[in-house]
Amino acid sequence: MKVPIHDDGAGGFRTKWEEMTTCKWIIIGGGFFWAIFTLLLGFYNYCAIQKPSPAISFEEALCAEEEALMSTRSQNSHRSAKKCEMTLASVEMRPPSSNSSSASSSADSRPAEKNISMIEFKDSSIPSTASASESGSQEDVEQTDWSAVLMAALVTFIAAIENTVVGMSEWPYMNQIDKEADAQFFGNATAASKLFHAVSALFFAVWCQRKQSFRWPLITGRAVAFGACCLYLCVEMFDHGRRYVMAVCYILFGIAASSSTILRAYVAALSVSKDRPQAYSALQAATMISIIVGPVIQAAFSAIVYPGYALFLLPKIKFHIYSAPIWVAALTNFVSVAIIWFLLKELPKRARNTMKHNQSMFTIAGMTARIERVSAMNLNWPVVLLCWLQKMLATLSIVTLTTLTSIIFLTNYGWGRERTVLTMSVTMGAVGVFAVAIAALYFFCKLGDFLQQRWAFLIGLVIFLSMYLLAFPWRFVSRPVAAYDVAADLGCNSTVYSWCDTSFAPAPLVLLTVIALVMGIGIPLSMIALDAIYSKCLGPINQSVMQGAMIVAEDVILILGPIYSSGVYKHFGFETLWTCNGVIVFVGTLLWLFNFPKLEPFS
């Protein structure tokens, strides 16, 4: 007879103290492992002999990455980014003891834009202002290193696959192995993952900037991902508090994913200004393709229903529909580490005496200087604030779908967990196809030249509104939510959700179709358009701080959004959540239309 996971083996149920003891043990053990691993890795990194590699210097990579933020948002903003980079390059390339006139400085500003990618540091005694023309290597470094860009895209692709295969079955698996997990807990765990992702991204960026190394932060991220996969596979070895173990796994996956963010600086260092949008499109394409490949991997194991097959020596480690893709993800980390170690080129280090004069965005002095510059700028603040607000509103819809879709299928429709995972895999595969098509229209067909970006974002808003209108559970086309099946633990449990007896659910096919259109077309179209408008509104300035502000606005919703959406769903139901989000998007649409004439110069 199979023992319920709540049973303590003696007919009783676990206490809160036992549950919290397990949780504390997991957190303490994970923190100890992380600390020891980081110390050993840092010591090895400190003692290792750095290999030389011909490329742009590390500090200039970070500077170029900051300037590339605008061009990565959209190809349409490339001209402003190039002007800004030329201006910064002319200032940085000027020798410290120069007494030349302003006319001479202006004359040197144009070649400086090219020379920023040509500086080599063979010895600390060589000044940082040495140009490539002096070293005679001008021709080699004027070209984008497409092979290195491809390697960076491949690393991004492997990391993104891990996230997509985990995301397909997060809630069904948690609900399967720990019946005390509810929508609110899942939302809180997702929010914690996003929070640690944001904090860890800063940690990896500072580490990358201080140690002047891309390789070791990336390898550390893959090591954390492998540890998360191992813990995920061992979750059924814990008799109590399994949902807390899975929450720790989500946090570790978020930390691991944040290490890949430094590849933006890596790609910026390896590409010249005119090729940077195309170089960054490789990273974007890698992420989009993973949205297709990840669900395919998940669907390939859909026939291995839970509880699946147990390992011979470790019977509590099983191979089934939820864990099989994690085995694949764990193995891909070894491939990723091999690519990073053997094929990913390191950038040459800059001498310490030249580093201290470069105020990076990741230092307090650098951030203070940038904030002072922003306060002195004459920006179009109404449009800037509008872009921030619209970014947050669009992200709210994304967070709602990613957090609650699988919960809705299990609760409102009463679908089985395996069916939910397979349906999610097929839907996300369609999302990936649509997203790649939108990116291809912008990259190959130059959609931005034919469709004004203010109209493109408005189309995205209309698609968002259609989701809340068409997929709303109108009584005349909907059906009551599924009754609770005690044996299968599926359907709407009235002891958990007070709205079960009065709530309705839309037709599943309608909801799935709307989700595919919103996530596959509406989100990519609106995000590309909004980023293009925002960058053009800022103009030919150093946009690092202002682009960072946009990212902060997005991160706020990524952290708080899961808590909001899961909380409203648990206490008030699907209809209330859909109504609230629909009203929010409608207000955002009215604001966009009200400011429509002001957006014409930036479209």
514-564 residue pLDDT tens: 999 998 888 888 887 887 788 788 777 655 567 667 777 888 888 888 889
Is 42 within the bounds of a domain?
Answer: no
DSSP character at residue 273: G
pTM attached to this predicted model? 0.65
Token pair recorded at residue 351:
């001498």
431-466 residue pLDDT tens: 888 888 887 787 777 777 788 888 989 999 999 999
For the cut 50, the answer to whether the pLDDT of residue 474 exceeds it is yes
pLDDT average, residue stretch 390-398: 90
Q: What is the pLDDT of residue 351?
A: 55
Residue type, 506: P
Do the bridges between strand 309-310 and strand 318-319 make them parallel or antiparallel, or are there none, so unpaired? antiparallel
Choice among 73-77, 326-330, 575-579, 586-590 with the minimum mean pLDDT: 73-77
User: Higher pLDDT residue, 46 or 214?
Assistant: 214
- Nearest C-alpha neighbor of 194 from the set 258, 144, 131: 258
Is 561 within the bounds of a domain?
Answer: yes
For the cut 90, the answer to whether the pLDDT of residue 294 exceeds it is no
Token pair recorded at residue 54:
């011909």
144-193 residue pLDDT tens: 788 888 888 899 898 888 888 887 778 888 888 888 888 888 888 888 88
Q: Write down the mean pLDDT value for the chain.
A: 73
Cis peptide bond upstream of 307, omega within 30: yes
Distance CA 8, CA 14 (A): 6
353-375 residue pLDDT tens: 544 455 555 556 666 776 676 66
Residue 452's domain is classified under what CATH number? Answer: 1.20.1250.20
Choice among 62-66, 89-93, 278-282 with the minimum mean pLDDT: 89-93
Element (DSSP H or E) covering residue 89? helix 78-92
| Range of the structural domain that residue 499 is part of | 143-351+377-602
Is 510 within the bounds of a domain?
Answer: yes
Q: Give the distance, in angstroms, between the CA of residue 282 and the centroid of all CA atoms in the same chain.
A: 15
Token pair recorded at residue 9:
């083996």
Q: What is the pLDDT of residue 285?
A: 75
pLDDT average, residue stretch 245-273: 84
Q: What is the pLDDT of residue 300?
A: 82
Q: What is the pLDDT of residue 361?
A: 55
Number of domains the chain contains: 1
User: Higher pLDDT residue, 483 or 536?
Assistant: 483
For the cut 60, the answer to whether the pLDDT of residue 379 exceeds it is yes
- Nearest C-alpha neighbor of 481 from the set 422, 421, 418, 408: 408
- What Å distances lie between residue 446 and 74, 75, 443, CA to CA? 11, 9, 6
Q: What is the pLDDT of residue 486?
A: 87
Is 192 within the bounds of a domain?
Answer: yes
Is 83 within the bounds of a domain?
Answer: no
Q: What is the pLDDT of residue 582?
A: 93
Is 568 within the bounds of a domain?
Answer: yes
pLDDT average, residue stretch 191-207: 85
How would you class 545 by CB atoms within 10 Å of its CB: exposed for 0-12, middle for 13-18, buried for 19 or more? buried
Token pair recorded at residue 473:
């559970």
Is 101 within the bounds of a domain?
Answer: no
First to last CA, the chain: 66
pLDDT band at 132 (very low <50, low <70, confident <90, very high): very low
User: Higher pLDDT residue, 300 or 543?
Assistant: 300
Q: What is the pLDDT of residue 462?
A: 93
pLDDT average, residue stretch 51-58: 43
pLDDT band at 19 (very low <50, low <70, confident <90, very high): very low
Q: What is the pLDDT of residue 499?
A: 92
Top mean pLDDT of 62-71, 107-116, 256-265 is at: 256-265
For the cut 50, the answer to whether the pLDDT of residue 80 exceeds it is no
pLDDT average, residue stretch 318-337: 89
- Percent of all residues in the chain with a pLDDT value above 90, rounded to a whole number: 18
pLDDT band at 18 (very low <50, low <70, confident <90, very high): very low
Is 506 within the bounds of a domain?
Answer: yes
Distance CA 240, CA 242 (A): 6
The number of C-alpha atoms within 13 Å of 95 and in the hemisphere containing its C-beta is 10
3 state SS of 131: coil
